[in-house]
Each structure stands twice: as C-alpha cells, then as structure tokens.
Amino acid sequence: MTEARKRQRMAEAFDDLSGSYDDPHHDRIARALVAFVAPTAAESVADAACGTGAAALATAAALASAGPGPGGGPGGPVLAVDLSPGMVAAGRARAARLGLAGAVDWRVAPAVPLPVPDGSLDLVLCASSLHFLGAAALADWLRALRPGGRVGFTLPLVGGFHPRGVFAELLAADLALPADADQARTLALDAGFTDPAARVVTAADARAVVLVRARTPGQPAEEPDPVPTRRSVAGGTAAEGEPHATFSAGADGRPPGPVPWTGVERARDARRPGR
C-alpha cells in the first residue's frame, strides 16, 4: 500500500469511527500520559495524531487550571494534528464544550512530518497513535523538538493488543510493540532520545499500555520542583520508581496535577551504556 493510500484509508477509517469513538478509554490514557509528562505553560506543545484531542485537551485543561486561561500561556495553544476531518471536528466540539476552544490549534493534516519548523517545539505528545505512525514519527519528533525538548507517548503492550479489520491492516510495520516498560525505554533510546522513563498502566478492563517520556539530546530543560516520595498517577498511586500503576477515570475529564521527573528513574536510565 502506498503512503498516500494508507493515509486515505486511515482518515476514512477514523472518520467512520468518529461518532462512536471510545473517548473515555482514550481520555484515561491521555490523562495518565499528561500527568506523567507534566507539560508546563512555558512549553510549545504538539499532540501528534490527536484524534478527538485527548492529550491536547488534557494538557489544555491542566494548564488552564494553573495559568492565565486557555492557550494564554507563553507556550501558546496546543497544536493538534490529525488526518481525520471527522475526529478533528469531534475534537473541536469537545473543546468548545469544555470551554477550551482557544487552547488548541486544530489541523487536519498528516502528523508525520508535523507541520512545524525544525527545532521549534518544546514537547510532543502522542497518545494511542504511535503504533499507526511508526518509526518515522519518532525521527520526526527529533527534528521538530528543540535540543533538550521533551516527548511523551503511549503504546499498547504487545501481549494484550488485538486490533481487527482495517485497524490491524493500518498498523505500522516498522515499530515492534514493547512487552514491558524496559522495552519501551529501549525503544526510546534506540530512536535517539535520552533520559527515558516508562510506566505500564492498566485500565479497569485490563487493557495495559505503557507511558513513555524522554528528551531530545542537548541542553536539558529546567528541572521541575523537588521529587515527592509518593505520587498520584491519574487517579491511582504509584511508589517512587515503581514501573506499573493503575489508572481510573477522572469524573470531570481533567488530569491530576503535574508529576515531576524523578531522580530514581533518571538514575536507573543512566545505567544504560553508550546511549
């Protein structure tokens, strides 16, 4: 299948799904990712393959509750890019309902490459989509992010992921799904990122995904505040450095507070040689 044909089929498949898309499940994953990555208002953020905007809206909600209002921080609105006009239309409607219309800059476009200049982003988020985008997306994020920029993505774990029909056909062939958090960190390192951390989270229906955050090589971004000993992960709790947590629905659709980077994870990841 050519890339153009694949994109057309992808857009059609998700357009068809957009009226019945499982927002609650994907919102939980995105909120867990946003809590794990902790975007700040100073960062220019993109949500790659945003769908109905789970990660963009979770980010916008978190920043709006902490700052000067939707899209009003120095980082500006979250750039949300997706091939499917139907998914983007549903996302715009959700943003309006949530009072976040000005907080997201929606684009119907391929997410690879992201429609931004080289080195112009501080943070790329990608929730529940990298398994469709493939390895080219990871390479493009290295291009689009400034040195020391950040990436946060999720992937389903290989054991419990069983897509059917067109969604199985459209999976990227060049990205092996990880079996656990260690393999997810390795995936980020092999793609060229540094300081990876990963955590497996399991939904109430037992679908497990891994959350990954990492940096681009170069000047590290400013570190957030001191590390807590225990922290909340989107409704569940996890001990410091614990690689597996559960997550639950937030009734108001908003993410919990920021989760700082941790010394434990950095120390563990620093042990990997030559990366």
Amino acid at 139: A
DSSP calls for 213-258: EEE-SSSPPPP-SPPPSEEEETTEEEETT-SEEE----TTS---S-
Q: Which stretch binds ligand SAM (CB under 6 A): 78-86, 142-150, 220-228, 256-264?
A: 78-86
First-to-last alpha carbon distance for the chain, in angstroms, is 34
Closest chain position to ligand SAM (CB): 51
> What angle is formed at CA 190 by the lines to CA 185 and CA 195, rounded to 5 degrees?
50
Nearer to ligand SAM (CB atom), residue 33 or residue 197? 33
Q: Is the distance from CB of 86 to CB of 15 less than 8 angstroms? A: yes
Nearer to ligand SAM (CB atom), residue 31 or residue 215? 31
Q: Spell out, one character per residue from 8 to 47, where the chain touches ligand SAM: x when CB under 6 A holds, - when not.
A: --x---x-----------x---x-----------------
Q: Which stretch binds ligand SAM (CB under 6 A): 109-117, 178-186, 212-220, 250-258?
A: 109-117
**How many chain residues bind ligand SAM (CB under 6 A)?**
23
Nearer to ligand SAM (CB atom), residue 54 or residue 221? 54
Q: Please name the residues in contact with 116: beta carbons below 8 A apart, sequence gap of 6 or more.
A: 46, 79, 144
Q: Does 49 bind ligand SAM (CB under 6 A)?
A: yes
Q: Does 127 bind ligand SAM (CB under 6 A)?
A: yes
> Beta-carbon neighbour count of residue 5 at 10 Å?
9
Nearer to ligand SAM (CB atom), residue 4 or residue 226? 4
Q: Is the distance from CB of 260 to CB of 227 less than 8 angstroms? A: yes
Nearer to ligand SAM (CB atom), residue 127 or residue 245? 127
Q: Does 155 bind ligand SAM (CB under 6 A)?
A: no
Q: Does 95 bind ligand SAM (CB under 6 A)?
A: no
Q: Residue from 36, 106, 132, 141 that binds ligand SAM (CB under 6 A)?
A: 132
**Among positive and negative, which fits the CA dihedral 35, 247, 84, 178?**
positive
Q: Residue from 57, 87, 214, 233 that binds ligand SAM (CB under 6 A)?
A: 87
> What angle is formed at CA 176 by the lines to CA 28 and CA 19, rounded to 5 degrees?
40
Partners of 152 in beta bridges: 125, 213
Q: Residue from 50, 79, 145, 259 that binds ligand SAM (CB under 6 A)?
A: 50
How near is the Cβ of 112 to ligand SAM at its closest, in Å?
A: 5
Q: Please name the residues in contact with 12: beta carbons below 8 A apart, sequence gap of 6 or more.
A: none
Strands 104-108, 145-156: pairing is: unpaired
Q: Does 216 bind ligand SAM (CB under 6 A)?
A: no
Residues binding ligand SAM (CB under 6 A): 7, 10, 14, 26, 30, 49-51, 54-55, 81-84, 87, 110-112, 127-129, 132-133
